[in-house]
Structures are given as structure tokens and as C-alpha cells.
Amino acid sequence: MPSKLAFLGLGNIGRGIAKNLVAKSKDAELPLILWNRTKGKADELSKQIGTSKTQVASTVEEAVLPSDIVWTCVGDDKADLAVYEAAMAVDVKGKLFVDCSTVHPETTDRITEMCKAAGAEFVACPVFGPPAAAEAGKLICVPSGPKASIDRLLPFTIDVIARENIIFADAPPSKSSLLKITGNTFILTLVSNLAEALPFAEKSGLGINELGQFIKLMLPGAYDGYFERMKNGDYYKKEPGFTVDLALKDANHAIKLAEDCGVKLQGVEVARGHLQAAKDIQGERADMASQYGAVRKESGLPYEV
Ligand SMILES: NC(=O)c1ccc[n+]([C@@H]2O[C@H](COP(=O)([O-])OP(=O)(O)OC[C@H]3O[C@@H](n4cnc5c(N)ncnc54)[C@H](OP(=O)(O)O)[C@@H]3O)[C@@H](O)[C@H]2O)c1
């Protein structure tokens, strides 16, 4: 039987997931309920998807109450806890909560406890992939939690919002938060690597087009994608796809988690320094790829390309 869904948090990633749930899921009972802190964004998305297929809720409680499965995807740990505190104000017995936000495993543990105490099921399901992958329904989902709850979620993943799943069945939900934070150390450091290599190629006389040929052949995928965003100046010309504050959150979580087990993530510390420098120059509109502008400036080049 189709489930009634609500989607809470319609940022760069949430918008794409919500669109695909409506467009591709055979297991979703429409209309999909949409909630966002800034309600105008939910109204806008509802118009885009179709007002007969979506319904905008004014409060978290209003979104949660009629839903069987409640999806959440908000920026950081504080936002996530605030949304779950509001959600638990209504009767949530038997409902399944699915959290796609990237948060510290301790935050996921707290949310797991809140849901358990209220009689709800909970699966942490952080996702890998940029906003374009969310839009295309090609994310990698990492569900972790009780197997029976993951089974309720799986019909909405592959061929709907995801291209692959990495499943931790009957594991604590915080396990997937740990993989997500660890995985993002690769993104932070590859972007930092490019941010340094491009000004090096420019100033050494090699040239970035020549470096670009090597990257395309040897390192297609994420390296190539971020190379293009840097070369084209997307990091200051376009709306951020991975905001500097979210990237700093991930860097801080990774550094702290590693420190707690006696490991020093020096590459992530360098990336965090570039991100902070970019934020100091560009403010909150800086993007993960703005690390490039920061290193350019530090190297005597203009921040912009
Ligand atoms: N961007 C990526 O490439 C990417 C990839 C994978 C995973 N993620 C993770 O997915 C999550 C969402 O990322 P995103 O890129 O979609 O972020 P985003 O575009 O910056 O959107 C953030 C969302 O969180 C909401 N929010 C922020 N503070 C809130 C609060 N105190 N209470 C309620 N809602 C609040 C925002 O509401 P308003 O609209 O009102 O500000 C917005 O809906 C993050 O945890 C991020 O780390 C991001």
C-alpha cells in the first residue's frame, strides 16, 4: 500500500530528492507534503512540481501528523535537532523518520533516542552526490538502522532518488553518519588539492588547460567536476551548491572524530584553512570550490579567475 510522505528541508539536496519522490515513486501516496523553514521555498517548489501533487505545510507538526514516512534534510546538527524536537511534539507512533542530513554521529544517536522514546522508527540515510545528482535521482544512499525500517525505505531509493545504496542493516543509525563524514574527507581534500594545483600550474608556466587534460584522463569524476567549477569561476559566479558553512561543518566533525580516536587529519585541516579564508573574503556565499579563490589570493593572483 502506498505511504503518505512528508519532506522537511528543501535546500539544494532536499529539493532534488522531493522532486524524484513525486516523479518516480510508485510507493508514494500523493500529494507529497513539503515543509521548509523559509516557507517561500516550499511554495516555489510546490509550483514547480505541481500544486496537485504537493501540499505545503506551515509547521513541522502539520507536515508530520498525517504522514507515514517523514524525510528530513537540513543543513547542520542544530537545525536537525530543532526539526526532530518539533516533530516529536505530535503522536509519531509507528511513523518512519528518514534523515538525509549530514550530522555528527552523536547527533544521530540523540535523534535515534528521541524517535525510540516516542515510538517512531528511525533510519539515518545520509547521501553522497552533488545537487545535480539529487536532481537526477542518482545519489548514493547510506541507510543505517533496524533492517525492518530500512526495508520500508528501500522502495524509495534505487531508481527513485538513488543509483546505489550502501546498507548497514541492524546497525546503529550513527554508523552511516560516520561513513558520510569520513567520505566527505575525500571531497574536502581533493578540492583542496585542486585549489593548490591550479595556481601552481598557472604560476609555474604549465598552464591550467594542460593540467586539465591530465585530470580528465587520470582522474575523471569528482576531480574533473571540481576542476571545471574552478576554471569557469562557478565558485563566485553561481549560487553555491555546497555552501562553505556546510563544508566547514563536515571538516570540523571529521577532525574532531579522528582526534577522539588518536588520528590527525592534516589534509582536512589544510582544506579547513582554505575554506575559512574563502569565507572571510566571500562570506556565506562561498562554496566548497571557493578554496581555489582563497589559494589564488594567497599566491598573489586575484580571488576571481
Ligand atoms: N550540497 C551538497 O553537495 C550535499 C551533498 C550531500 C549531502 N549534503 C548534506 O545535506 C544536507 C542539506 O544540504 P543542502 O546542500 O541541501 O543545504 P542548503 O541548500 O544549505 O539547505 C539547508 C536546508 O536546511 C534548512 N535549515 C537550516 N537551518 C535550519 C533550522 N535551524 N531549522 C530548520 N531548517 C533549517 C534550510 O532552510 P532555509 O531554506 O529556511 O534556510 C534549508 O532547507 C546538509 O546536511 C549537507 O551537509 C549536501
pLDDT in tens for each of the 305 residues of the chain? 899 999 999 999 999 999 999 999 999 999 999 999 999 999 999 999 999 999 999 999 999 999 999 999 999 999 999 999 999 999 999 999 999 999 999 999 999 999 999 999 999 999 999 999 999 999 999 999 999 999 999 999 999 999 999 999 999 999 999 999 999 999 999 999 999 999 999 999 999 999 999 999 999 999 999 999 999 999 999 999 999 999 999 999 999 999 999 999 999 999 999 999 999 999 999 999 999 999 999 999 999 99
Instruction: Kindly report the backbone phi and psi dihedral angles of residue 3, in degrees, each rounded to the nearest multiple of 5, phi listed first.
Output: -105, 150
Output the CA 75–ligand 1 centroid distance in Å. Answer: 3
Q: Pinpoint the alpha helices (H) of 2-38.
A: 12-24
Cβ of 9 less than 6 Å from ligand 1: yes
List Cβ neighbours of 64 (8 Å cut-off, separation of 6 or more): 6, 70, 87, 90, 92, 95
Between the CA of 219 and the centroid of ligand 1 the distance, in Å, is: 29
Compute the distance between CA of residue 131 and CA of residue 284 in angstroms, rounded to an integer: 18
Q: What is the pTM of this model?
A: 0.98
Question: Which pLDDT score, from 0 to 100, does residue 1 have?
Answer: 87
For residues 196 and 17, give the distance between their C-alpha atoms in angstroms, rounded to a whole number: 33
Whether ligand 1 lies within 6 angstroms of the CB of 101 is answered as: yes
CA 42 to centroid of ligand 1, rounded, Å: 13
Of the candidates 74, 87, 99, the one whose C-alpha atom is nearest the C-alpha of residue 153 is: 99
Q: Is 36 in the pocket of ligand 1 (CB under 6 A)?
A: yes
Q: What is the pLDDT of residue 16?
A: 98
For ligand 1, say whether the CB of 70 is within 6 Å of any of its atoms: no
Index of the ligand 1 atom closest to the CA of residue 102: 45
Which atom of ligand 1 approaches the CA of 9 most closely?
Answer: 43
Judge if the beta carbon of residue 183 lies within 6 A of ligand 1: no
